[in-house]
Structure 1
Amino acid sequence: MSRGRRHMLVAGLALFAGLGPGSARAGGQLEEPLADAVRTALSSAVSNGRPPRPGFNNIEERLAYLRWLGAMSQRLLRRNAEHLTRVEFLETVWYESRRAGLDSSLVLGLIEVESGFRKFAVSVAGARGYMQVMPFWARSIGDGDASRLFHLQTNLRFGCVILRHYLDRERGDLFLALGRYNGSRGRAEYPSAVFGARKRWDYQEKA
């Protein structure tokens, strides 16, 4: 076999295995039947749109947010060199994570593991975007348009609402909720990876 044909074969196998430039190495949620009340609640949580602009009760809260934004933007620099894109992404993460009652560092850690911060990442299972949302969720609790899962706020909205749903189902057990999110409930590999990534996005105010 010639060197050129060997290279093409290796590249093709890598893409098939989900190792290509736009692929994601994480798994995907498993489709499961939802009670009507749960489906309605999740649909409402997803469709209740609002621009991801933070609101603050006082100047101290706003300054703390701006310090967090600056610190996270610096950490994200090597993954995205465009300042305005980083800020928009982080503003949306901050807004959607708090809207769902989740810690922002957890959501950032999950995104790192799921997609490596690639907006158009697609897994072998077909999960899409930053938080690797499976297309069936668009049919179950959205408008059915799976292509919208590549939209920044839509993807983060779905991902955070789904993780919140799993966390509630698991009675606050984050280990099991993360496993359910990844489709590997009960196994340690995925939650351990997210917990490890979460530490890299943890932010503590200096005293």
Structure 2
Amino acid sequence: MSKLNIVLASQSPRRRELLELMQIPFTAIAADIDETFNPDLPVTRNIMDIAEKKARAVIKKLTKSTADTVILGADTTVVFGNKPLGKPSGREEAYAMLAELQGTSHKVMTGFALLQGTLCHTDYATTLVEFSPMTGKEINHYIDTQQPFDKAGAYGIQDPFMSCFIRRIEGCYYNVVGLPLSHIYSVMRTMGLV
């Protein structure tokens, strides 16, 4: 469908699986950058900036880049109230994050950047997720079996057992996993990439 050279600026297995759903061939390259939020900027600006930094870091790694090369960078965070919850530093923080989210709703936001030559389009998507309450024992079981330390907010909506506690979502499911596919595809179409 596309003659473009799509490069995903990520080694996340979840993002690779999601991008495969678009049925557009791509390669994936890790984007080793500092993902620390700037506290002076809103969450939306932070996630779009980080996504763009990932894309720009990967384009520098390419030995050959042509006008047909498009880099996709993305950054996902969980926002509870006004507080962004990134990846937990360890078990204690993962437990605290999951305990905080119980019986409430929160936002999952993914910023993305599509970089082609000098053109860079950034945007973001938001999904509302509502959790049913989990007991302390259930939280510990989830942490023990899923090891959610590489996931924003200390959970993956697609993980086994977590499905028992997702009461409701409003918005794109794939955004919660890590890439708002319909939004990205729509932007790619607008840019004439697909």
Comparing both chains, which one has the higher relative contact order based on Cα–Cα distances under 8 Å and sequence gaps of 6 or more?
A: 1
- Measured against the shorter chain, the TM-score band is under 0.3
